[in-house]
Amino acid sequence: MTTSAPTPASTRTVALPGGLSVTIQEFGENTEGTGVLVLHGGAGPRTVTGISTALSEHVYVVTPTHPGFDGTPRPDRFDTVADLAIAYLDLLDTLDLKDVMVVGNSVGGWIAAEMALRDNQGRIAALTLMNAVGIHAHMAENRVVDPRPMAPADISQLSFAKAEFRPDFTSFTDEQRAANAANQQTLAIYGGEHFTYDPKLRARLHRVTVPVLVVWGEKDGIAPLKYGRGYADAFPNSHFVPIPDAAHFPQIEALGATLDAIGDFVSTVVKPDTSA
C-alpha cells in the first residue's frame, strides 16, 4: 500500500438491516474495496481517532460509534456485545468491504473477536486486539478489574501509565460529565451480567482461523499483561506484542510502537512479501 497524507475524517449515518442506524467516521477513501474497521472501547470513539488517522495514510478506515455512545440512539432491543458484532458485520456488507482488518481496543477487541466467530461471509482477514477484554481469566490475579464502583480519576490512574495522558476530570464541564456518565451506562448495558467478559468466549476462540495480533500495554492496571497473553493463547494463529510504558490505551500512549507492531504483522503474517 502506498502512503499518502491523511484526509480529514467525514461523518455519516449508515442504515443497516433490521432498522438499525450506525454513525461512522471515515478516514481516507474507499478506492480498493478493502479497509480497516476500528472499534473503540468504553471511553468512546475519541480514543481511537489518532490511530484511525494514522492508519488512513495507508488504507481506508471506518470507525463506528457504538449505538448509545456520544448521544447516538440505541434501540432497547440492541443490548449485547453480540448485537454490536452482528451490526458491524452488516456494516461491512453494506459498505462491501473485503479482506478487512478489525482493530479493537478494550471492549472493541471483544466485539472484534465476536465478529470473527460470526463472519460467515469471509470479509475479515485479520484481527488486532489492543488490551482487549471479553474472556474470563482462569486465575483471579489475572482478571480484568471491574471499574463500575470506581471513581473516574481512579480508573484513569489504572488506565494510563503516563500522567500526562490522564484526563483532568476536575476540568470537565457539567455537560462533559453527563456525557461520560451516559457512555458508561451504555457500556454497562452491553457488558451485561459479567460486564467485562463472556464466560464462554475463550472456549470458542479456537474457531477463529484468521491471523490475530494481540497488542498489550504492559502497565495496564485494568487488564493485566498475563490476561493479554492468555487472550493470545486462546487463538490458533496469534501473535503477541507487549508495548512498554503503556497501559490500557497503547494506541494513545505509544502510538508509534502500536503502529509498528501492526505494520510488522501485516508485512510478515497477513500479506507477507514473498519476493525476497
Domain ranges of the chain: 10-270
Using an 8 Å Cβ cutoff, are 236 and 211 in contact? no
pLDDT tens string 120-141: 999 999 999 999 999 999 888 8
Nearest to 252 by CA among 59, 58, 45: 45
pLDDT tens string 11-62: 999 999 989 999 999 999 999 999 999 999 999 999 999 999 999 999 999 9
Question: When comparing pLDDT for 276 and 16, which is higher?
Answer: 16
Grid cell listed for 10: 467525514
Please, which residues bridge with residue 128 across strands? 103, 213
**CATH number assigned to the domain covering 10-270:** 3.40.50.1820
What does pTM read for this prediction?
0.95
**What are the CA-CA distances from residue 34 to residues 62, 166, 233 (Å)?**
10, 34, 28
